[in-house]
Amino acid sequence: KSRHNGTYSTQYLHMSKRAVKVGDYVKQGQVIGYIGMTGNTAGPHVCYRFWKNGEQVDPLRQKFPNSEPMKKDKVPAYNKYIEPLKTQLDSIEYPHKNILF
Q: Where in the sequence numbering do the catalytic residues fall?
A: 45
Helix H, strand E, coil C: the string for the chain is CEECCCCEEEEEECEEEECCCCCCCCCCCCCCEEEECCCCCCCCECEEEEEECCEEECHHHCCCCCCCCCCHHHHHHHHHHHHHHHHHHHCCCCCCCCCCC
